[in-house]
């Protein structure tokens, strides 16, 4: 009997120890299971978009006015670079000239055909009188036959025009409407050009209007936007403005680098990356909703459970991305409230705990 009593006591003690261990294991690895979030990453979403580029370009069309013989330069040139010669036997480029210009039918036919080949519905024509004045300024209105021509600005030099110069004019950037044009993506090998002309493009700054269909992310002014030129090349700019319709979103952006990657491309269909604010990745099971607000349970510095609101960026099945906010705060019902911070400990199964539970 005595031995049996000792066995029972031993079994009870063993069961007590096992239960304590089991409870601790349950608490640590199930009930109070936590995940420590990292320092955060910039979350981004990628969409297929259509991009229309606008350049700061100075262009000259000599058709119907004179003959321009280019030196066929390539790439960026500085101010004062000799770029070719202009020959005319009997033409006065002076701004004071009142001579009526007779359109060169062959030149205009070529230009119209160029615009048609590049699939532009609108067919604006360069105002020859205005172009005459522009060319006159190249010579300071002191033209001589077979005059040498030097660049007035620095930038990328091209000895032809593509017909888009007037359409993608910087002055029209704010009033540009996609409905006015039939603008397919460009295949560089098939682009037609207008000779007897040239332009110099400022490669230090250029703009783009980006058309996205039904994007899930809505960026803000000042956010970054990136365009994949190809699999290895990306250009990144800043959003200046955006408009949203039922189906599309138009983003106006400015770029200060990467011109050599697109080099005079007008229309591009490619991947567009919208950069969100810093974000944290959490198990989807850790996020729950209370009174219409997304929440998580976290362990505070004192070791107790407390609830924290979060802004969900994307629910990707088993993973959920939440915003890191600005200085650790997000907007909830128009009020700034504290949210998660880097290295916070988040409860994986919030339905198993309650506010105030002691984790350690």
Q: Give me the pLDDT at residue 280, please.
A: 93
Q: What DSSP string runs through 46-80?
A: EEEEEEEEEEEEEEEE-TTT-EEEE----SEE-TT
What span, in angstroms and rounded, lies between the C-alpha atoms of 68 and 149? 9
Looking up tokens 């119907």, which residue turns up? 64
Q: Please list, in sequence order, all residues whose beta carbon lies within 8 angstroms of the beta carbon of residue 220, skipping any fewer than 6 positions away.
A: 239
Please count the CA atoms within 13 angstroms of the CA of 319 that sit on its side-chain side: 7
Spans of all domains in the chain? 47-277
pLDDT along the chain (360 residues), means of 10: 58 55 47 79 87 93 84 90 80 51 52 56 60 80 73 92 82 74 56 83 95 81 91 93 83 95 89 87 93 93 92 88 90 91 91 86
Q: What is the pTM of this model?
A: 0.71
Burial label, 187 (beta-carbon count in 10 A; 0-12, 13-18, 19+): exposed
Closest CA to 221 of 188, 250, 253: 253
Q: Does an H or E element contain 137, and which?
A: helix 128-138
Q: Give me the pLDDT at residue 196, please.
A: 86
In order of 113, 148, 262, the CA distances from 139 in angstroms are 30, 9, 32
């Amino acid at each position: 009997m005595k031995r049996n009593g000792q066995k029972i006591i031993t079994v009870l003690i063993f069961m007590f120890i096992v239960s304590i261990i089991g409870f601790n294991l349950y608490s640590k690895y199930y009930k109070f299971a936590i995940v420590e979030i990292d320092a955060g990453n910039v979350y981004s979403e990628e969409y297929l978009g259509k991009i229309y580029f606008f350049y700061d370009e100075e262009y000259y069309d000599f058709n119907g006015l004179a003959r321009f013989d280019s030196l066929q330069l390539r790439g960026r040139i500085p101010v004062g670079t000799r770029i070719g010669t202009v020959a005319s036997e009997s033409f006065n480029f002076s701004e004071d000239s009142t001579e009526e210009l007779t359109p060169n039918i062959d030149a205009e036919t070529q230009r119209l055909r160029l615009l048609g080949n590049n699939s532009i519905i609108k067919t604006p024509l360069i105002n020859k009188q205005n172009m005459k004045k522009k060319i006159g300024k190249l010579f300071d209105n002191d033209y001589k036959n077979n005059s040498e021509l030097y660049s007035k600005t620095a930038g990328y030099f091209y000895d032809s025009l593509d017909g888009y110069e007037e359409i993608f004019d910087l002055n029209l950037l704010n009033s540009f409407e996609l409905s006015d044009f039939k603008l397919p993506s460009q295949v560089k090998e098939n682009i037609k050009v207008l000779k007897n002309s040239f332009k110099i493009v400022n490669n230090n700054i250029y703009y783009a209007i980006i058309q996205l269909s039904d994007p899930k992310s809505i960026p803000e002014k000042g956010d970054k936007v990136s365009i994949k030129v190809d699999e290895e090349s990306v250009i990144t700019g800043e959003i200046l403005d955006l408009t949203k319709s039922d189906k599309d979103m138009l983003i106006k952006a400015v770029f200060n680098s990467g011109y050599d990657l697109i080099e005079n491309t007008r229309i591009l269909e490619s991947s567009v990356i919208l950069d969100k604010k810093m974000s944290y990745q959490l198990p989807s099971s850790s996020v729950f909703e209370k009174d219409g607000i997304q929440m998580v349970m976290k362990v505070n510095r004192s070791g107790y459970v407390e609830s924290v609101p979060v802004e969900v960026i994307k629910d990707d099945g088993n993973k959920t991305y939440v915003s890191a906010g600005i200085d650790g705060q997000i907007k909830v019902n128009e009020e700034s409230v504290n949210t998660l911070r880097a290295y916070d400990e988040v409860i994986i199964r919030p339905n198993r705990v309650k506010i105030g539970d002691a984790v350690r």
